[in-house]
Structure formats: structure tokens, C-alpha cells
Structure 1
Amino acid sequence: MTLKVIDSHLHIWDPAVQDLPWLASLPALQHRYTVDDLAAHYARQGVEFLGGVYVEVDAADPLLEDRLIYENGSPLILKRMMRTRVSPYMRIPVIADGVREPLHVDSEPRGRVLEPEFLDGLRVLASLHMPFELCNRGDELLDMARALAQVPEETVVIDHLGNMPGLDADSKRAIEALGELPNTYIKISGDNPVDPHIVEFVREAFGPKKVLYSSNWPVVELNSSFDAHFALMRDLFGSDEDFFMNNACRAYGIRI
């Protein structure tokens, strides 16, 4: 039976149309990327690519990004996680299925997730049944655990293995605490080649129903490659339908 895949973390952009300042030092990624380009990668893997979750790209003009994604009619974009600054009075694009505030960038203050405004914003998102996409600095994992424990009703999807720096005691303690929260999921992806030992620890902490496959395409091409990452995921997870499809459906409310 052909493996069905939902990619829980993909990006698309066109530098000729959008200003993405963080790409300035990354010439290898200064190209146009489309969902059809990604679909071609999956076709070569011999799997059935059902589509994926678009995640905002930290563009200089989020309103332009909103419009471009609104105008993109690809049926392969199953959900849209758009940019905002989390607060109880946040602006949420009408096309958004959930939101992300990048917490991993230099401009974001440390301890941001523990601010009352941020926590109140998560409570608003929970009342709207909108997931929050969490991309954090790896050395702030304990702050993430402390913050999210105060809003356990909110669905949170953690990007890139939480950017876990390693299997040090603090990181392990934070991941175990996050894994115990009822509505918190985590993606097996990253900018660097994935460490199978970290994957195994995270899978044990979160359980088989709360770990999601993601490619992080095209950023995965910086230090690894789509093909290498997907091959490693097949080695570690085989044809696990929960990992490759069902868990993303649960986390994001995707109906196939």
C-alpha cells in the first residue's frame, strides 16, 4: 500500500515578490519555491503527497504574505499558519487556521512567552480553537514548558524538535514536561540533519500520537537535503500512518 503523507511544515516564497531579510546571508535559498516543486520531490519518493501545512516565512511585509497565500489556490495547502504578535487583542488574518509569532529570532525578547499579554493571547486562541505554532530558541525550552503549562487547553505545535540543543538535563526535563501537556504536539524536522537519539527521546516523551512528520522544505536543503531527511524518517518511522499523516490531522483539524 502506498504511504500517504501530510507535510506538517512547508514554506513557499518568491524573493522577486517578497522581502525576506533573513535570506540575505543565505544565497542558496534565494529562489522561488512553490508547492508543486515540493510535490515533485514526494513523487520521486513513490508516496502519495496529500498536501501540507503552510507556515509563515518571517517576511518584512506580513500583509503582503497574507495576500499572496490568499491568492494561492493550490489544493495542496491544507492549513495556513500565519504571522501575528500574540496578545488578547491580536490581529488574525481571515485566511489563518492558526498563528505563529517567531520566538527564535534575535529581535524577539527573551522570556516573551511568560509575559501576561502572551499568555492571555494563547487563551484567546484556545477559545477560537486556533492552534499556535511554536518556534523557539533551544535554550529557552524550560520557559516554553512553564508558559504552556499555564494554558494547557491551547493546541500548540512545536517546530523542529523544539530546536533542542542536545540531551542535556534541562532540555530533557523541558521536553518531558511539554510532552505531558494534553494538547501539545511536536514536529520531527529541523534546519540541521536530525539526530536520531534526540528523535527517540522526543518520541518517548510525547508518545506515538503527538509526533508529526515535517520536511521544513526548502530550509531543509541548507544543511541536509529533502531526500536525506525523508529517508531518515522512513528508517526511523517506517510506514507509521500516525506519524506521516494522522497526527497532523489531529493537531491541525485536517480532514482528508
Structure 2
Amino acid sequence: MTLQVIDAHLHIWDPAVQDLPWLAGLPALRSRYTIDDLAAHYAARHDVEFLGGVYVEVDAADPLLEDRLLYENKSPLILKRVMRTRVSPYMRLPVIADGIREPLHVASEPRGRVGEEGFLEGLRILADLGLPFDLCNRGDELPDMARALAKVPEETVVIDHLGNMPGLDEASKQSMRALGELPNVYVKVSGDDPVDPHIVEFIREAFGPGRLMYASNWPVVELNSSFDAHFTLMRALFGDDEDFFMRNACRAYGIDMPQR
């Protein structure tokens, strides 16, 4: 049977149109990437049906321009849109947003930001609106994330890139176990470095199979690995598990379940 895939974390951009300051030191990624480019990677695998994926904000200098570009992009392969805002009780919520991300992993973000009361109140508002929050954090701040998110267990949180775990040190494991105990927290098995199978196995035990989801992180995955290597590893670790490759993303982001 053909494996149906929903990619829970993808980016598209055009440096000729958008200013992405973080690409300044990454010439390998200073190209135009479209959803059709990604679809071609999946099409090369004849036993896979790419249903589409979740667009995640690209830390652009002008998020309002990003809002417009995503509004104008009518590709049916963009199933949901996670847009950027600064989380607070009075945050700007793009009308096209199906979820929100505030990059917490960048140098400009103050440490401890996730524990600020305004941030937590913003998460409560997102929960009331039914909008998930994508968490992209510094790996060494996982203890802060666990303490803060325990105060807002009602919010659906999707942890990007395996929480950027620096390794299987005791502090990281303890924090991820605490996050795994929260009822509405999911984890994307993705990243721009090759994924460590030992970390994946630990995360699977901590969260259970119903809250892990496949994500390519394309095209950033091409920096230190490749789309093909990552996808091949995911199938080696998860087989053709429909929950991992499709259904868990549907549950987390409210995507209509495809019918066979």
C-alpha cells in the first residue's frame, strides 16, 4: 500500500522578494524554494503519496510581507500555516494563521522569555482560540520550557526538532519526560542536523507513538544532511507507521483526515 505522508514542518521562501537576515552566512540556502520543489522530492519515491504539509514561518525581517505571500499562495499542498507573532495577551494574529510560532532559539530572544507572564497569558489565549503553538527553543533551555508549559497544559504545543536536545544528559531527559506528561504536547522528528536514533528512541518512550510526527524541515535539512537521507532514516526507524507519517499531524494541527 502506498505510504501517505503529511510533512509537519516545511519552509518556502524567495530571497529576491523577502529579507531573511539569518541566511547571510548560509549561501547554500540563498535560493528560491517552492512547495512544488519539495513535492518533486516526494514524487521521486514512487511508493509515497505526498498529501501536503505544514508551512512554518521563516524568521523573515518583515512578517507582514510573509503573511501576504502566504495568503497569496493558493497551493493545495499547503495544508496549514504556522505564522510568526510575538506571543502576548495583545498579540497580532494573522487571519491566515492555523498556528503560531515565536522563534525562541535566536540570539535576539532573551533567555527565560517563555516564563514571562505575558507569554503564558498569550498561550492561554491561543488555547481558547484553538491555535497550536510551535516551540522552537535553545536546547539548554529545555528545563525552562518544561516548567513554563506545565502552567498552560490546555494549549496544544508542537515541539520542533526534537526539542533541539543537546544530547541524552539527565537534565534534558528529565525535562522532556516532564513535557511528555502534558496531555497536549507533540514532538516533530526533524532538524537541520542528522537525527540521532538514540534521541528518537528516548522521545518515543517519553511521549508515546501517538504524539510523534514526521517532519522534513526542508530545505534547512539540506545544510548538514539531506532530504533523502532524513526520509530514509525515518522509514528505517518508523516503518510505514501512518500515525507518525500522517495522522498525528492531523490531530495536532486540525487537518482533515484523508480517506483511503
Q: What band does the TM-score fall into relative to the shorter chain?
A: over 0.9
In structure 1, distance between residues paired with 2:171 and 2:192: 22
- 2:44 is paired with a residue whose SS is helix
Structure 2 residue aligned with 1:140: 141
- 1:102 is paired with a residue whose SS is coil
In structure 1, distance between residues paired with 2:94 and 2:211: 27
Alignment deviations for residues 192-249 of structure 1 (CA, whole Å, 9 cap, x no partner)? 0000000000011010000010000000000000000000000000000000000000
In structure 2, distance between residues paired with 1:149 and 1:250: 21
Q: Is it true that 1:39 corresponds to 2:39 in the alignment? A: yes
In structure 2, distance between residues paired with 1:3 and 1:43: 12
Structure 2 residue aligned with 1:69: 70
Alignment deviations for residues 45-68 of structure 1 (CA, whole Å, 9 cap, x no partner)? 220000000000000000000000
Residue type at the aligned position of 1:29: L
Q: Is it true that 1:56 corresponds to 2:57 in the alignment? A: yes
Structure 1 residue aligned with 2:237: 236
Q: Is there any run of 5+ residues in structure 1 with no aligned partner, and where?
A: none
In structure 1, distance between residues paired with 2:204 and 2:190: 13
In structure 1, distance between residues paired with 2:249 and 2:96: 19
Structure 1 residue aligned with 2:23: 23
In structure 2, distance between residues paired with 1:203 and 1:59: 32
In structure 1, distance between residues paired with 2:45 and 2:111: 40
Q: CA RMSD in A?
A: 0.4
The correspondence of residues 113-124 of structure 1 with structure 2, limited to 5 A, is 113-124=114-125
- The alpha carbon displacement at 1:34 in A equals 0.3
| TM-score, with structure 2 as normaliser | 0.98
- 1:45 is paired with a residue whose SS is coil
Residue type at the aligned position of 1:21: P
In structure 2, distance between residues paired with 1:80 and 1:108: 22
Alignment deviations for residues 157-181 of structure 1 (CA, whole Å, 9 cap, x no partner)? 0000000000000000001000110
Residue type at the aligned position of 2:22: W
- 2:171 is paired with a residue whose SS is helix
In structure 1, distance between residues paired with 2:128 and 2:180: 22
Residue type at the aligned position of 2:246: M
Structure 1 residue aligned with 2:100: 99
| TM-score, with structure 1 as normaliser | 1.00
Alignment deviations for residues 29-80 of structure 1 (CA, whole Å, 9 cap, x no partner)? 0000000000000011220000000000000000000000000000000000
Structure 1 residue aligned with 2:203: 202
In structure 1, distance between residues paired with 2:88 and 2:69: 24
Alignment deviations for residues 133-152 of structure 1 (CA, whole Å, 9 cap, x no partner)? 10000000010000110000
Identity, % of aligned pairs?
81
Structure 1 residue aligned with 2:9: 9
In structure 2, distance between residues paired with 1:43 and 1:86: 37
Q: Is it true that 1:248 corresponds to 2:249 in the alignment? A: yes
In structure 1, distance between residues paired with 2:165 and 2:85: 24
Structure 2 residue aligned with 1:90: 91
- 2:24 is paired with a residue whose SS is helix
- 1:54 is paired with a residue whose SS is strand
Alignment deviations for residues 2-46 of structure 1 (CA, whole Å, 9 cap, x no partner)? 000000000000000000000000000000000000000001122
In structure 2, distance between residues paired with 1:187 and 1:207: 13
In structure 1, distance between residues paired with 2:122 and 2:223: 33
In structure 2, distance between residues paired with 1:92 and 1:17: 23
Residue type at the aligned position of 1:15: P
In structure 1, distance between residues paired with 2:110 and 2:135: 15
